[in-house]
């Protein structure tokens, strides 16, 4: 259900952002062959980064049938290695999704090598240098399309559309970095078997978030989440008005970001909208438009700390589709003006975004050369892509918990400039308050001590600090006594 904007800011805040636009470099053509090369729909990501290495995947028909291809840059996008063909089966393989953690690169796609389309997976343990054999994630049942892939620590999550029972949204996971996989299962079993398509998945620690387009009461964006690493799932619910489609989801700590195409003005006049949850998906704010014009499709979103980046294709200039971008430096509260990233005689479609360090990376497919090829563009700003730091202080509020690991009390350090009473509240990962208190704002240290703090189970919590009309939130970890 949608709600008006809430003050509950359960998100790991970083130092105060500077609202500076990314500086975009010229695009780079990554493929050059006579066949079509295409990225995936906006539910998945065809680009991922970890450190200076950028990983890109797509499907490509240069060998007569569509195969999954891979390319990497070891220097943040300055130079690129040759293409690597990941699938060599005579059947077709399409619509890959990529995710990376440290040196381990994960790729999922669907193909027809064993009859009906099934979901397949492949990994590299050495930053994409060598690749292990393909694994079918749906070996015995299912008709799978459009996988979306996410990874956090050693747990890899995949969600997709399965046509054998509805269609419904199916899910599987690996808890050992992709070496072995659990059986695939339906995570929307209570929902009617109306059209469900283009599942998009994002993960932050134990919380897994999935969105998709659902036609049970007209096309809308539906959402479900798991609070226990994908073991169990909550009942799904709608988070957007009718009609809306093509969602992409990203998460940073307790803040969940969703972009999608809204068709309230007609089937030929979609417009990109954005909504967010500040409490790990419990409540959702009223949607706001991102695109300044109509005829905007297939948005993608990426997040790093308090920065949110969105891109989409847009044909406001006639029949030619171009890639547009918009960024937020305050966790989606306000947005910088649009930036047009492409301008050529052909179409530019289905962008994907990734963020790391001081760069935003975008890939898409483009037919400016009378053939679909993969293109890449890099944006740089002083603030782009600052990575999450679990122990970062809330400098805007001038207060932070020190340390961020606690047993029976929470100690908060106050800056001398802080004025007015300080309100503290502790929430669990579901967004449920477990303790609250108010203090006079004297500089120095204060302790939040309460019997409820002592009784809390070990795990992750969020401390919300409110003073001087400013709100900050810090991730805390409760350990055993």
User: With 90 as the cut, is the pLDDT of residue 320 above it?
Assistant: no
Sign of CA dihedral 333, 334, 336, 337: positive
322-350 tens-digit pLDDT: 999 999 988 999 999 999 999 988 999 99
* pLDDT at residue 401, rounded to an integer: 75
* pLDDT at residue 142, rounded to an integer: 84
* pLDDT at residue 386, rounded to an integer: 33
What's the rounded Cα separation, in Å, for the pair 149 and 120?
11
Sign of CA dihedral 128, 133, 139, 144: positive
Measured CA to CA in angstroms, residue 439 lies from 7, 402, 421 at distances of: 19, 17, 5
Within the chain, all domains assigned CATH 2.120.10.10 are found at: 23-380
Label residue 319 by pLDDT band (50, 70, 90). Answer: low
Q: Give the lowest-confidence range in 41-45, 218-222, 318-322, 333-337.
A: 318-322
Within the chain, all domains assigned CATH 2.60.40.3080 are found at: 399-478
User: DSSP strand E in 117-243: where?
Assistant: 118-124, 135-136, 144-152, 155-162, 168-174, 185-186, 196-204, 207-214, 220-226, 237-238
pTM: 0.78
What's the rounded Cα separation, in Å, for the pair 238 and 116?
30
For the domain made up of 399-478, the CATH class stated in words is mainly beta
What's the rounded Cα separation, in Å, for the pair 348 and 27?
12
56-95 tens-digit pLDDT: 999 999 999 999 999 999 999 999 999 999 999 899 999 9
Q: What is the DSSP letter of 138?
A: S
Q: In what order do the strands lie in the sheet with 459-467?
A: 405-406, 470-478, 459-467, 422-427, 433-439
What's the rounded Cα separation, in Å, for the pair 188 and 233?
9
What's the rounded Cα separation, in Å, for the pair 464 and 372?
49
Question: Which one has a higher pLDDT value, 337 or 23?
Answer: 337
What's the rounded Cα separation, in Å, for the pair 297 and 314?
6
417-447 tens-digit pLDDT: 555 667 788 887 766 778 888 776 555 666 7
User: With 80 as the cut, is the pLDDT of residue 235 above it?
Assistant: yes
* pLDDT at residue 415, rounded to an integer: 63
Q: What CATH number is given for 23-380 in this structure?
A: 2.120.10.10
Whether the Cβ atoms of residue 354 and residue 348 lie closer than 8 Å to each other: no
């Amino acid at each position: 259900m949608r709600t008006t904007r809430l003050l509950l800011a359960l998100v790991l805040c970083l130092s105060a952002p500077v609202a500076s636009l990314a500086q975009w470099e010229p695009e780079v053509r990554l493929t050059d062959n006579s066949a079509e090369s295409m990225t995936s729909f906006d539910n998945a990501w065809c680009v991922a980064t970890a450190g200076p290495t950028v990983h890109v995947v797509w499907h490509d028909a240069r060998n007569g049938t569509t195969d999954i291809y891979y390319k990497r840059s070891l220097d943040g996008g300055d130079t690129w290695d040759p293409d690597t063909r990941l699938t060599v089966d005579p059947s077709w393989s399409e619509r890959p999704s990529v995710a990376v953690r440290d040196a381990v690169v994960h790729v999922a796609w669907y193909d027809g090598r064993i009859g009906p389309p099934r979901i397949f997976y492949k990994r590299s343990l050495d930053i994409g240098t060598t690749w292990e054999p393909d694994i079918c994630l749906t070996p015995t049942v299912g008709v799978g399309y459009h996988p979306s892939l996410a990874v956090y620590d050693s747990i890899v999550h995949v969600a997709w559309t399965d046509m054998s029972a509805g269609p419904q949204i199916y899910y599987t996971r690996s808890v050992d970095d992709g070496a072995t996989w659990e059986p695939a299962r339906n995570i929307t079993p209570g929902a009617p078997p109306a059209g469900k398509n283009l599942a998009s998945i994002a993960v932050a620690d134990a919380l897994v978030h999935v969105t998709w387009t659902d036609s049970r009461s007209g096309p809308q964006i539906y959402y479900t989440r798991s609070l226990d690493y994908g073991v169990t799932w909550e009942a799904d619910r709608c988070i957007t008005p009718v009609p809306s489609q093509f969602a992409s989801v990203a998460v940073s700590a307790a803040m969940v970001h969703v972009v999608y195409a809204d068709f309230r003005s007609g089937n030929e006049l979609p417009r990109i909208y954005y909504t967010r949850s500040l409490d790990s998906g419990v409540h959702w704010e009223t949607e706001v438009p991102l695109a300044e014009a109509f005829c905007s499709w297939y948005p993608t979103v990426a997040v790093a700390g308090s920065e949110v980046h969105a891109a989409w294709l847009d044909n406001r200039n006639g029949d030619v589709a171009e890639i547009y971008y918009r960024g937020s430096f305050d966790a989606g509260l306000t947005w910088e003006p649009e930036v047009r990233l492409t301008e050529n005689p052909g179409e530019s479609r289905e962008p994907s975004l990734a963020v790391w360090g001081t760069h935003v990376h975008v890939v898409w497919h483009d037919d400016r050369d009378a053939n679909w090829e993969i293109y890449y563009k890099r944006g740089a700003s002083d603030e782009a892509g600052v990575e999450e730091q679990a122990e970062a202080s809330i400098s805007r509020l001038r207060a932070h918990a020190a340390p961020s690991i606690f047993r029976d009390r929470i100690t908060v350090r106050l800056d001398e400039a802080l004025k007015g009473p300080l309100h503290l509240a502790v929430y669990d990962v579901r967004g449920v308050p477990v303790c609250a208190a108010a203090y006079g704002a004297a500089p120095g240290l204060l302790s939040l001590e309460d019997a409820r703090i002592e009784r809390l189970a070990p795990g992750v919590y969020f401390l919300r600090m409110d003073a001087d009309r400013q709100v900050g939130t810090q991730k805390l970890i409760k350990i055993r006594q």
